[in-house]
Amino acid sequence: MATLSDAWPPLPLDEWADTYATLHMWTQIVGKVRLALTPLTNHWWNVTLYLTTCGLTTSPMPYGERTVEIVFDFIDHTLTIAMSDGRRETIPLEPQSVATFYGKVLASLARLGVDVRIWPMPVEVAAPIRFDRDEQHASYDRDSANRWWRAASSSATVLNEFRSRFLGKCSPVHFFWGSFDLAVTRFSGRRAPAREGADAMTREAYSHEVSSAGFWPGMPGKFDAVFYAYAAPEPAGFKTARIAPAAAFYDAGLGEFFLNYEDVRTAASPRDTLLGFLQSTYEAAATLGAWNRAELERAVSV
């Protein structure tokens, strides 16, 4: 059982890359069920998952006169599909292929009387494999999944504190299964210029000016877990703005500021270090982007 000292566990990507890849696909399967059952909410907020005291949840989703909720539990290592009529199905989280997991999820939903069709192709990944044909990704290490969830939970606590400082339109702190990241997004209140050649998903996601930040477990083969922040559209001078702490850096290729999770985890105060990064990147975006900060922000003591 995790203790308070485990709130910011080590998370080197090379130690859990296989579990990460498999879990990414599993969350996409569940996320696509949410996409199929919920009405579109601005910027695709209806498709996201949410952190719980044990893992991730879809939250209740409508299905006729009932609701259905799907919960990943990274303490007991189960996936539970629960209906508002009291019926439920449980699937153990254990080493199994994406194809096997996909089949179990659809079969469990069918036994509960939930008829749902999802597009079986993963999104936002290189060389995607259809869920029903993916025998390649089949790893699940309990300790790794639990450590990622604890890191995400601690990150979400700080992201929610940061979110509370904003009076304008702001997303929940939520988990995007496409990119496997935890995010919170603030809005200036103004529409953004149209993105040339953007697909429907991108047009909806970036229809308005934003300053966004979050936690990402990293990019396999490139870098470990990071916190990120970006502005869209990016105002002039943003990439050269002075950001706290000194370890933060701007990646020109991705167009985002990054702060290594390890630098936060090992800081004297992970909370203060992360809040400093979140606040300074937002202030750079809002000031350089000429947001009406006086109307959008709540006075707080750090």
Per residue in 68-115, pLDDT (tens digit) is 999 999 999 999 999 999 999 999 999 999 999 999 999 999 999 999
- Which pairing describes strands 78-83 and 66-73: parallel, antiparallel, or unpaired? antiparallel
Sheet of 208-216, strand order:
174-176, 181-191, 208-216, 226-232, 256-260, 249-251
- Compute the distance between CA of residue 20 and CA of residue 18 in angstroms, rounded to an integer: 5
Residue 3 has pLDDT above 80, yes or no: no
3-state secondary structure of 292: coil
pLDDT band for position 4 (cuts 50, 70, 90):
very low
Q: Are 20 and 220 in contact (CB under 8 A)?
A: yes
> Domain residues of the chain, as ranges?
12-133, 142-296
Per-residue model confidence as pLDDT tens digits over 163-208? 999 999 999 999 999 999 999 999 999 999 988 888 888 888 889 9
Write down the pTM of the prediction: 0.95
The tally of CA atoms less than 13 A away on the side-chain side of residue 215 is 26
CB atoms within 10 A of CB 205: 20
Residue 285 has pLDDT above 90, yes or no: yes
- The per-residue pLDDT for 6 is 87
* Residue 257 β-bridge partners: 229, 250
What dihedral angle (degrees, nearest 10) is formed by the CA atoms of 200, 202, 207, 208?
A: 170
